[in-house]
Amino acid sequence: MYKYLSVLFLMLFINPSFAAEKRDLGFKLDVVVQGFFSPEVKQATVKSVRSGTLAESEGVKAGDQLLAINGCEIPSCPASTAKAHISQPIGTMVNFQFKQENGQQYSVDIQLM
């Protein structure tokens, strides 16, 4: 029985063909999550922005702090909710609210790719 569970685990979690498809936002985040059973996003900061993307043209810059995803405010947004917002089908528009290093806040809608 243990052998079968091990094989199933390897197939589902190691094999990339079974993994969920990653969405491209045009930027990468450094995320701090707190909690074990019900983790929450405590902080998310833009690590990098890929050139030629909608994120770049909308003014997203490395160092900007993420304040909310589709209205789910950070800190305290459940990690599962944040993940669900960016795991929607390709083509879905997602609203992100950011704060620049100078304190100015802005909002952008980015289509998932």
For the chain, give the percent of residues with pLDDT over 90. 73
Q: Which pLDDT score is estimated for 9?
A: 38
Please tell me the distance from the alpha carbon of residue 69 to that of residue 44, in angstroms, as a whole number: 11
Q: Count other C-beta atoms under 10 Å from residue 55's C-beta.
A: 21
Lowest mean pLDDT among 6-10, 23-27, 40-44: 6-10
User: Quick one: pLDDT band at residue 23, thresholds 50, 70, 90?
Assistant: confident
User: Is 14 among the domain residues?
Assistant: no
Number of domains in the chain: 1
CATH code of the domain containing 35: 2.30.42.10
The predicted pLDDT at position 113 comes to 86
pLDDT in tens, 30-66: 999 999 889 999 999 999 999 999 999 999 999 999 9
Task: Using the predicted structure, report yes or no on whether residue 12 has a pLDDT greater than 80.
Answer: no
Domain of residue 59, residue span: 20-111
pLDDT of the residue at 83: 92
- What's the pLDDT score for residue 15? 40
* Exposure string over 31-48, b if 16+ CB within 10 A, otherwise e: eeeeeeeeebbeebbbee
